[in-house]
């Protein structure tokens, strides 16, 4: 299939081009001409007003062959495609959103480490980017084999931070030393951590009620899903699966190699988009008039969250109290 890529962000476009170069077998051809392409894929994410998509002529000229690979928080469904933080449909599924792995991971330390001794029942290290995580940091499980770390001072997507390599190595070694890798929702429903834990051959534990898992893997064979409301019971739940942890980790690694490794990622992404095209419920031209409303909803939601945060923190300062949850410092 002939694919034309449109970069919404330079780094994402280069990452997608590299995945195409690594793809095995090489099933698709990248072309410069959008007219001759069988599929047009916008890669990255857009600013608040939709620049890069709403001001492009391509979706209007070729509405049925335009898709997006969106690697930012949330889902802004201007185009059908892959959203790395896609959520399950609430009422009915228009088959316009699917999920997949991130194309730009930035942590070369993530790899299987069979030599590392298992010291933890479960571990998690991440930023304070959701209410679930804030609650998680407040829980004292009173167990030395449960390691929960708030690493809000580290921002994964900024390659200029000091001690970056050492912190990435520590992060990977902690996962390797765990029987289970906890993957709680962050700023959005999904996250990179699920795929990192799978890549390392550790049994993943998903705590996200809304995340739409990618199609393909037999998730039930290796993934444990814990409702967000049961995060307090995490150790007790995992202890019941202790004997399965190594096998679940092995199957997670096999699933990663089959569906999400660099050599299969590009073909998998295109296969997902082809499936969306075949299952399309409504013509894309019908969606274009609602682009303004979709973008307004995004801006309103972000603004409302910002106002709510300022109001709550202002009340705590006025009362001279410390806020009950840890904040992300970035």
3-state secondary structure the chain: CEEEEEECCHHHHHHHHHHHHHCCCCCCEECCCCCCCCEEEEEECCCCCCCCCCCCCHHHHCHHHEEEEECCCCCCCCCCEEECCCECCCCCCCCCEECCCCCCCCCCCCCCCCCCCCCEEEEEEECCCCHHHHHHHHCCCCCCCEEEEECCCCCCCCCCCCCHHHHHHHHHHHHHCEEEEEEECCCCCCCCHHHHHHHCCCEEEEECCCECCCCCCCHHHCCEECCHHHHHHHHHHHHCCHHHHHHHHHHHHHHHHHHCCHHHHHHHHHHHHHHHHHCCCCCHHHCHHHHHHHHHHHHHHHHHHHHHHHHHHHHHHHCCCCCCCCCCCC
- Position 157 confidence tier, pLDDT thresholds 50, 70, 90: low
**Per residue in 104-147, pLDDT tens?**
877 889 999 999 999 999 999 999 888 999 999 999 999 999 99
**Per residue in 248-295, pLDDT tens?**
999 999 999 999 999 999 999 999 999 999 999 999 999 999 999 999
Residue 245, token pair as written in the block: 């942890």
The DSSP bridge partners found for residue 204 are 181
The DSSP bridge partners found for residue 114 are none
- Position 330 confidence tier, pLDDT thresholds 50, 70, 90: very low
Return the higher-pLDDT residue of 328 and 86.
86
What does pTM read for this prediction?
Answer: 0.91
Lowest mean pLDDT among 109-113, 174-178, 311-315: 311-315
Mean pLDDT, to the nearest integer, of 200-208?
A: 97
Residue 233, token pair as written in the block: 């019971």
Q: How far is CA 199 from CA 27, 94, 120, 322, in A?
A: 24, 31, 18, 39
Asked if residues 232 and 184 have their Cβ atoms less than 8 Å apart, the reply is: no
What does residue 64 show for φ and ψ, rounded to 5 degrees?
Answer: -85, -10
Mean pLDDT, to the nearest integer, of 307-327?
A: 79
For the cut 90, the answer to whether the pLDDT of residue 73 exceeds it is no
């Amino acid at each position: 299939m002939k694919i034309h890529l449109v970069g919404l962000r330079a780094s994402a476009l280069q990452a997608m081009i590299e995945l195409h170069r690594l793809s095995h077998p090489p099933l698709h051809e990248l072309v410069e001409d959008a007219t001759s392409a069988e599929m047009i894929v916008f890669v990255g994410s857009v600013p608040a007003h939709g620049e890069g998509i709403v001001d492009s002529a391509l979706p209007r000229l070729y509405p049925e062959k335009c898709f997006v690979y969106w690697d930012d928080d949330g889902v802004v469904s201007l185009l059908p495609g892959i959203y790395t933080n896609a959520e399950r449909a609430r009422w009915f599924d228009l088959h316009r959103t699917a999920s997949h792995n991130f194309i730009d991971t930035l942590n070369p330390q993530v790899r299987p480490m069979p030599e590392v001794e298992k010291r933890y029942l479960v571990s998690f290290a991440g930023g304070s980017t959701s209410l679930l995580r804030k609650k998680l940091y407040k829980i004292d499980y009173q167990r030395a084999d449960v390691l929960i770390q708030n690493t809000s001072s580290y921002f994964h997507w900024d390659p200029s931070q000091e001690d970056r390599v050492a912190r990435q190595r520590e992060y990977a070694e902690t996962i390797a030393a765990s029987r289970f890798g906890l993957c709680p929702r962050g700023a959005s429903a999904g996250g990179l951590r699920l795929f990192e834990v799978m890549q390392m051959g550790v049994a993943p534990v998903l705590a996200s009620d809304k995340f739409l898992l990618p199609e393909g893997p037999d998730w039930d064979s290796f993934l444990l899903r814990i409702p967000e409301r049961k995060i307090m019971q995490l150790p007790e739940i995992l202890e019941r699966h202790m004997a399965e942890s190594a096998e679940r980790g092995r199957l997670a690694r096999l699933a990663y190699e089959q569906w999400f490794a660099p050599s299969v990622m590009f073909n998998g992404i295109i296969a997902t988009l082809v499936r969306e095209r075949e299952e399309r419920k409504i013509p894309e031209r019908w969606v274009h008039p609602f682009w303004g409303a979709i973008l307004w909803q995004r801006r309103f939601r972000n603004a409302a969250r910002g106002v709510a945060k300022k109001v709550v923190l202002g009340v705590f300062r006025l009362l001279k109290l410390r806020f009950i949850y840890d904040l992300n410092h970035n």
